[in-house]
Structure 1
Amino acid sequence: MEQSNHIERKLKLIHVVAVGLAYMSPMAVFDTFGIASDVSSGHVPAAYIVAFVAILFTALSYGKLVRQFPTAGSVYTYTRNIINPYLGVIVGWVTFIAYIALPMINALLADIYLSAGFPEIPGWVWIAGLLVVISFLNIFGVKLAASLNLLLVVFQALVGIIFTYLTIRSIVKGPESFITIGEIFPSGDEVSGLFGAAALLALSFIGFDAITTLSEDTINPKKTIPRAILIVAGIGGVFFFGVTYFMQSLFPDVSIFNDIEGASPEIAVMIGGNLFLSFFLAGALFSVFASGLAAQLSASRLLYAMGRDGVLPKRFFGYLHPKFNSPVANILLIGVLSLGAIFLSLEEATSLINVGAFTAFSFVNLCVIFNFFKQKGPRSFGFIIGSFIFPAIGLAFVVYLWASLDIFAIIGGIVWALLGTIYLAFTTDFFKKEPPQIAFDELEA
């Protein structure tokens, strides 16, 4: 039975960018500053430059592929059509870990923030409460979720601007001085720490890839999505560098903080007092909410693509609500699965998102390289640079990121991939028939 209703194209460029920025969670720059400064020996701005340049190559690969396949499946769709249908399903399956882990991470962060203020309330209440609210909002349609994300991102930007202003004011009044250009980058033995910090901070840019799952929700996706990818990555790079430049100038040595991993509240109090701390924590909560909303939105689209293709049971995963035009079953399923956050630590949830994200980044670059070798006829110098050299650089950096994963993440990823392979074997009569395929030309209207 053919899918009779498709996702309506309602999103404009500003909506897609808002979802990407919300998914990226700009406020995370404050949460990671302490540990990144410690690892990089006080060179966080330089670490962000390295991470941005490295991730930019992967962002360019996404931009190339979304023009070719402007559909909701993202890396699942790219891999199954360019490399191998079976591999595409497995890649989509493993990538889903990142999409399901991010709502968990945001639920855990909500628990951490709110439990500090209301210790008498059990943590599971905050986790379940956040997931119920974001599921409810996503059910009512992508435009409502995207518009709300836009407002939340604007508030986060306001918090960042005020934070930066207060930091600059503290530098001007105090004994510290602004970092010079020559001091931004390390030298000698500190260089290895710079790349270690860059690997840690690379995940700050997750968000540009998630918006590719909104291709079927977006007006003119072949033009809008690639532009949004570069805008989101660019805004993230400028914001992260700018904020950490002033933070590093004011706090060249993070050993002064009681908790290096949780230095941001201490910094907020130092530069703005308890009043600004309240405003800052509100921004952090809004960031958690917006990121969770965007993550569930993206995950539901990935499952919808796989369900519409028939890779997953179509009646459930490929279903769109006739009134809200949203994959309601997928949204509710993700909400239920995300309740697993009650039983996980923040570190365990973060390692799961790494597996999914690194899988997606790896195969997006591989898909562009495969397309390069499939190209017949003469290849221009520009084509070689854009379709082979750039994705190869992006892939090399992702391989470096893979080496930083802990054993829990690696074992978890392998087990999850094996479960997906077993499922695929049974649904394809042990690989004797190909997974179902969607007709993309029907979706380009």
Structure 2
Amino acid sequence: MNEKNQLQRRLKLIHVVAIGIAYMSPFAVFDTFGIASDVSSGHVPLAYIVVFIAILFTALSYGKLVKKHPTAGSVYTYTKNTINPYVGIIVGWVTFIAYLALPMINALLAKIYLSSGFPQVPSWVWIIGLISIISILNIFGVKIAASINILLVVFQFLVGTIFIYLNVRAITEGPKHFISLSELIPSGMEFSGVFAGAALLALSFIGFDAITTLSEETIKPKKTIPRAILLVASIGGIFFFTITYFMQSLFPDVSVFESIEGASPEIASIIGGNLFLSFFLAGALFSVFASGLAAQVSASRLLYAMGRDEVIPKRFFGYLHPKYNSPIPNILLVGLLSLSALFLDLRTATSLINVGAFTAFSFVNICVITNYFRHKEFGSTLSNLIGPLIGLGFVLYLWSNLDLYSIIIGLVWALLGVLYLTLSTGFFKKEPPEIEFDELEG
């Protein structure tokens, strides 16, 4: 492979973990608490435990595959080399819609947050401004983006820590009490609400998988990326459970809020006044910025991997800037496509993320299962067949909870990919080009 057309290994474990956590957007726990509490009948902490255990099986599947294919293509690469090149391209195509939608969602959230504070400024200014800054930072290289994300993630956890302290103070000084084990676990029919809440909260963990797109830019990826995947998922799970445990202890019934969708700012104001509310909203804004930065990194690397394979035009998508070692055309394209946030709403963007993420989760588990039966490569039946089957089962449960609108969007997008693949391969007469992965392992 031409050395000039190869990503350079600059990222350490801390950089990769920071990008994964930023992508996962830990502040989402605050945005979803009110709705999740209502759906789960006040059992949000347990719902997070359920979804963490379920998602862990998929995380382990990612870890196994990245050791075999330590490249930038993530689930596109895994599926292409494990199942079929054509299937891999379609999976990569459908997965990309999630990477594209997340910068859109972050731009929309930034508009909502900033427009509430500065109503005199046109809302489109915030969308264009956020996407422009993110694109410029990513052009200068992934390590700069990763270093900025470390600072942003640290600030978010600082806000979360203060939030917990204020919750604890409010509980100990007031009539409320900490949730006991018996109160944490529901009885009887309430378990259905816990699983419904888990399906809703599964989106909180989207992000641990995105770091697999950084494999080519990570030092010792076969060791670092699997560790980072488990760290990101575990840190997220601990953070989500801890925050919601104290929130649920202080407010077991979210019907007391004016709006369950805006419960967390109300809680911030109640426990810390306007000063902490301002600090809290700054954390939310930083979360949006960090997540958008990480999402654009992942999307541009997925496009780069497909462009280098000549699945899509290599001259454009497979280009790396000689100085910054970044796929600038892809970064600019993702930024340009993200401007569709000017015309779309949160429901549409969320639907796109659901479809892309669930497709990726499904095929990662399918790839491990396929390898087990085809090559007996991954060892024990428990970790390489039973585990992925459990992971796939949970993902199928998530699919069953999608609304018709999301499924229709996903099918239309998939059909567009099939149409492109059909025409570009002369009705499947031409095999997609292969890439020598051994050259990339480093």
TM-score under structure 1 length normalisation: 0.98
- What is the SS of the residue equivalent to 1:290? helix
Cα displacement (A) at 1:426: 1.1
- What is the SS of the residue equivalent to 2:71? coil
Map 1:5-404; keep pairs closer than 5 Å: 5-376=5-376, 383-404=380-401
**Does the CA-based 8 Å contact 2:57-2:390 persist in structure 1?**
yes
- Which moves more between the two structures, 418-427 or 71-80? 418-427
Structure 2 CA distance for aligned equivalents of residues 419 and 345 of structure 1: 22
**Does the CA-based 8 Å contact 1:94-1:413 persist in structure 2?**
yes
Q: Specify which of 421, 437, 441 is matched with residue 440 of structure 1.
A: 437
For residues 300-350 of structure 1, the C-alpha deviation after alignment (integer angstroms, 9 at most, x for no partner) is 000000000000100000000011000000000000000011111111111
Structure 1 CA distance for aligned equivalents of residues 161 and 51 of structure 2: 22
Cα displacement (A) at 1:375: 2.2
Structure 2 CA distance for aligned equivalents of residues 31 and 200 of structure 1: 12
Q: Specify which of 395, 414, 421 is matched with residue 417 of structure 1.
A: 414
For residues 252-299 of structure 1, the C-alpha deviation after alignment (integer angstroms, 9 at most, x for no partner) is 000000010111110000000000000000000000000000000000
Structure 2 CA distance for aligned equivalents of residues 219 and 92 of structure 1: 24
Cα displacement (A) at 1:3: 7.0
Which residue number corresponds to residue 428 of structure 2? Answer: 431
Aligned length: 442
Structure 2 CA distance for aligned equivalents of residues 130 and 144 of structure 1: 17
Structure 2 CA distance for aligned equivalents of residues 305 and 77 of structure 1: 8
- Is there any run of 5+ residues in structure 2 with no aligned partner, and where? none
**Does the CA-based 8 Å contact 1:107-1:292 persist in structure 2?**
yes
Cα displacement (A) at 1:205: 0.7
For residues 368-400 of structure 1, the C-alpha deviation after alignment (integer angstroms, 9 at most, x for no partner) is 0000001259x96xx100110000000000000
- What is the SS of the residue equivalent to 2:5? coil
- What is the SS of the residue equivalent to 2:70? coil
- What is the SS of the residue equivalent to 1:312? coil
Structure 2 CA distance for aligned equivalents of residues 408 and 330 of structure 1: 28
**Does the CA-based 8 Å contact 1:57-1:390 persist in structure 2?**
yes
- What is the SS of the residue equivalent to 2:322? coil
Identity value in percent: 74
For residues 191-234 of structure 1, the C-alpha deviation after alignment (integer angstroms, 9 at most, x for no partner) is 11100000000110111100000000100000000000000000
**Does the CA-based 8 Å contact 1:95-1:359 persist in structure 2?**
yes
RMSD: 1.1
Structure 2 CA distance for aligned equivalents of residues 422 and 206 of structure 1: 28
Structure 1 CA distance for aligned equivalents of residues 95 and 58 of structure 2: 15
**Does the CA-based 8 Å contact 2:80-2:87 persist in structure 1?**
yes
- What is the SS of the residue equivalent to 2:270? helix
**Does the CA-based 8 Å contact 1:3-1:308 persist in structure 2?**
no
AA aligned to 1:420 is G
Structure 2 CA distance for aligned equivalents of residues 127 and 193 of structure 1: 36
- What is the SS of the residue equivalent to 2:207? coil
Structure 1 CA distance for aligned equivalents of residues 342 and 360 of structure 2: 26
**Does the CA-based 8 Å contact 2:37-2:254 persist in structure 1?**
yes
Cα displacement (A) at 1:5: 2.3
AA aligned to 2:126 is W
Structure 2 CA distance for aligned equivalents of residues 185 and 69 of structure 1: 40
Structure 1 CA distance for aligned equivalents of residues 430 and 3 of structure 2: 21
**Does the CA-based 8 Å contact 1:20-1:232 persist in structure 2?**
yes
Cα displacement (A) at 1:4: 3.9
**Does the CA-based 8 Å contact 2:74-2:302 persist in structure 1?**
yes
**Does the CA-based 8 Å contact 2:36-2:44 persist in structure 1?**
yes
**Does the CA-based 8 Å contact 2:4-2:320 persist in structure 1?**
no
AA aligned to 2:65 is L
Cα displacement (A) at 1:2: 5.7
TM-score under structure 2 length normalisation: 0.99
**Does the CA-based 8 Å contact 1:23-1:207 persist in structure 2?**
yes
- Is there any run of 5+ residues in structure 1 with no aligned partner, and where? none
For residues 143-164 of structure 1, the C-alpha deviation after alignment (integer angstroms, 9 at most, x for no partner) is 0000000000000000000000
